[in-house]
Structure 1
Amino acid sequence: MSMQAGMRLGASGSGVRALCVLVHGRGQSPEEMERHILRRLDISDVAFALPRAPGGVWYDARAVDPLTDGTRSQLDEALKALHAEITALQGEYPGLPLLLAGFSQGACLSIEYVCRGHAAPDALAALTGCRVGTPSCERPDAAAANLPAYLSGSDADPWIPLAAMAEAALALGGRGLRLRADIFPGRQHEVSDAEIGMLAGMLSDLAAGQDPGLAAAR
């Protein structure tokens, strides 16, 4: 996958205390993530990288479809592109903590990234996400123990079934991640104020040199 130009927003230079790579969902764009998420964050010391998928899609299949060779190939390319984005941002600001975050398909891609066993980010925020594929599919399961992670979902979301989100939470919890999972009954395919509050709290903790407490009000 040839990464098209994404966006860099937020703090820069000596004012940066933490980093965040924020991955958009299917059919979305960095601009939509900026409007719907970043503008709602009261954060001044975080550098944000917002990668862009060609055509707005990281992979064609639904997250809960069985994995095919084609989907695995697309997923591999998307994960390589995400790894390059993370590496580039960390290269600009070496030594600073990084939160990997995503919404919907971007949340699924972020979960898959940590499950591949790459050098782990300092925290994960998967807003409305799940594992890609089904429980019967062969999938990497190498997420780092003790990684602070936040997963969210809804029983009314049309794209990520609640059962798939719960299955991901159980799998990551079983790996020993320091996990909080929130379910928002009736919430549509969007990011709620409570999820924004959690994201802001995680970033503030990282910028202060602390592990995310995952204690934002629900």
Structure 2
Amino acid sequence: MHKKKIKYAGLPLDGAGKVLIMLHGRGASADDILSLSNYLNVKDFALIAPQATNQTWYPYSFLAPAKQNEPWLSSAMDLLSDLVSEIEQLGITKENLYFLGFSQGACLTLEFASRNAAKYGGIVAFTGSLIGEKIEPDKYKGDFEGTPVLIATSNPDFHVPVERVYASANILKNMGAHVTEKVYDNMGHTINQDEINLANQLIFDK
């Protein structure tokens, strides 16, 4: 099970109007994903980055049968639920709550947000999709009410098939999100400057 280990940056939580939860990829760290904030327009945000135990949110591919990734996936979901509850208890509404993830962290970002859809400030998924051997729409509830979402990826990507990215984007659109999809040819499993520019333009500069 994931231990609660959180890194903070940016403005203090009790003095920030906006909060960005940042989720790192497999084999990476909270510090790694926080370093991305140097390139994002988030100077007026409190930044929160949970650290996955053993540097992975769940052990197998996001396309593996659900049981194979338990209890780690449920534990990651519970950790995020608790974190969001703590943020709301400080008086910060979901409209001022943002999510960003890369790779495994992007998959977790989309899965958590779609299971708990609401009008969030914005969601950024750098190379990710919904989790599961197959997408099960019945798992996803709520209404995004126009939440801006950026999903960007490479085609091909060794870890995340582009078809799955499109299918995930369609689920979020059907739930009321305003989704922008961006696919880069042969980019590789990374984040490029254009993605960062789009995230700033579509999500953080609003």
Q: Assess, with a 3 A threshold, how the Cα gap between structure 1 residues 15 and 154 changes in structure 2: closer, same or farther.
A: same
2:100 maps to: 101
Q: Which runs of 4+ in 1 moved over 4 A?
A: 136-139
Number of residue pairs matched by the alignment: 203
Could you tell which deviates more after superposition, 38-47 or 118-127?
Answer: 118-127
Q: In 2, distance between residues paired with 1:76 and 1:119?
A: 20
Q: In 2, distance between residues paired with 1:117 and 1:17?
A: 21
The amino acid that maps onto 2:63 is V
TM-score (norm 2): 0.87
How far the C-alpha of 1:132 sits from its partner, in A, is: 0.9
1:203 maps to: 204
How far the C-alpha of 1:138 sits from its partner, in A, is: 7.5
2:71 maps to: 73
Q: Superposed, which structure 2 residues align to 1:97-136 within 5 Å?
A: 97-117=96-116, 121-135=120-134
Long gaps (5+) in structure 1 = 206-218
CA shift digits 1:117-173 (9 cap, x unpaired): 365533211111111113365861225243321111111322112121111112222
Q: Secondary structure at the match of 2:81?
A: helix
1:209 maps to: none
Q: Superposed, which structure 2 residues align to 1:27-38 within 5 Å?
A: 27-35=27-35, 37-38=36-37
Q: In 2, distance between residues paired with 1:138 and 1:173?
A: 12
The amino acid that maps onto 1:50 is A
Q: Superposed, which structure 2 residues align to 1:42-191 within 5 Å?
A: 42-68=41-67, 70-92=68-90, 94-95=92-93, 97-117=96-116, 121-135=120-134, 140-145=139-144, 146-191=146-191
Q: Secondary structure at the match of 2:69?
A: helix
CA RMSD of aligned residues (A): 2.3
Percent identity at matched positions? 22
Q: Assess, with a 3 A threshold, how the Cα gap between structure 1 residues 84 and 118 changes in structure 2: closer, same or farther.
A: farther
The amino acid that maps onto 1:22 is M
Long gaps (5+) in structure 2 = none
Q: In 1, distance between residues paired with 2:197 and 2:62?
A: 26
Q: In 1, distance between residues paired with 2:190 and 2:129?
A: 15
